[in-house]
Amino acid sequence: INFTVEDHDGNRQSIEAPDDMGLSLMEVLKASEYPVLATCGGMALCATCHVEILEGKSELGVATDTELDQLEALPEYFPTSRLACQIRISDILEGSVVKLRGEDN
Ligand code: FES
């Protein structure tokens, strides 16, 4: 599948990712060398993988309760905020635009 990533500087890049390997969006972003700390390793505990879904299927903007607890603890989050580690790569992501919101390191 293909989707677009917008980095902290507003640069957009198209990313291709396999949807049959059970990868999370966080894992794909890290593999693509984006600055995602993912301190908790994908346990929905650190919120450093915060992203905003700028364009995409509406389901993508719906965070689970576990995610919401983390997102609400952030200084800034948006109705379309998600934790990238809680999004599985699947065709639901096709054509979406994901903006990095985690800390820039
Ligand atoms: Fe820690 Fe997603 S990697 S919350």
Cβ–ligand 1 contact at 28 (below 6 Å): no
Which sequence spans correspond to the domains of the chain?
A: 2-100
> Is the model's pLDDT at 37 over the cut of 90?
yes
Cβ–ligand 1 contact at 15 (below 6 Å): no
Residue 15 pLDDT class (50, 70, 90 cuts): very high
- pLDDT of 68: 95
Pull the structure tokens for residue 27: 């894992």
Instruction: Give CATH superfamily name and number for 2-100.
Output: Beta-grasp domain (3.10.20.30)
Q: How far is the C-alpha of 67 from the C-alpha of 44, rounded, in Å?
A: 6
- Letter for the amino acid at 10? G
Q: What pLDDT digit, counting tens, does each position of 48-105 carry?
A: 999 999 999 988 988 999 999 999 999 999 999 999 999 999 999 999 999 999 876 4
- Which atom of ligand 1 lies closest to the CA of 85? 2
How far does the centroid of ligand 1 lie from the alpha carbon of residue 26, in Å?
8
